[in-house]
Structure 1
Amino acid sequence: MSGALSSILYVEDDPHVRGVAKMALEVIGHFQVRECSSGRTALLAAADFHPDLILLDVQVPGNEGVATLAQLRRMPHLCRTPAMFVTGLVSAADMALYVAAGAAGIIAKPLEPLRLAGQVRRLWDEQSGNLLPL
């Protein structure tokens, strides 16, 4: 990944987690965040949004995160946009699935709001292929 990270499309179904994470990303990370509560709303929001990063919960209603990412990748302006998954499912098999789906990083739940912006930025900066959960 190259360039500065400034905008994020964030997909999370839990309103509490979504609100806290959005606030942390905006206030601590100074990112512009467009939040979505499902895969369907992400597809609608992405039509006119050109984020630097897609941040997806793996388990979202209306379309799970991996399938949502595949659909977002069909949009020409998002076909090369880096994506990171946020999940509590971090077994070796799960991690292999996320890597195969094109994950640039994985952030393990439960989220730590005060660390989230740093985790995202560190994964963005490092992008070394070592996708251990942070």
Structure 2
Amino acid sequence: MKMTAKLAEWRLGWKLYFFLYALIAVVFAVIITQALFAWHDYVDLAFFYINLAAIYGYAFNKRVGRPGFWKCLLWVYPVWSLLYQFVLPFGYDFPQLGMRAHANWTMIFPLGVTAVSSRCIYNYGFKSQGLWRR
């Protein structure tokens, strides 16, 4: 398969995203081993590393797992991310009557990461059929 210059630039962007994501993964690994977290933080960490595998596979045009897994993950991961960001932080501490639970702007940044990662999973599972056939 001959790659065009535009596709090569596109893959370079995904490779840069992968390296930034991998750097964050190293930082998370150090942080999570030094403190106690709730169960949902460990589930989110598992999703984080699964996404890292998807980004690696798509950026470097490598097969990781099966396409059906990534197609399923495309539906599960965004739902989990929304629950993790907006429901679980307030689920254990219900506000008292008359008080309002508020979300700050730092909760919006992970939604951007979720959107970009979901796009990568979509491209990897659905749009990379040539990769899965060889």
For normalisation by structure 1, the TM-score amounts to 0.27
Larger Rg: 2
For normalisation by structure 2, the TM-score amounts to 0.27
Q: Which structure features the higher share of helix residues?
A: 2
Greater RCO between the two (CA within 8 Å, min separation 6)? 2
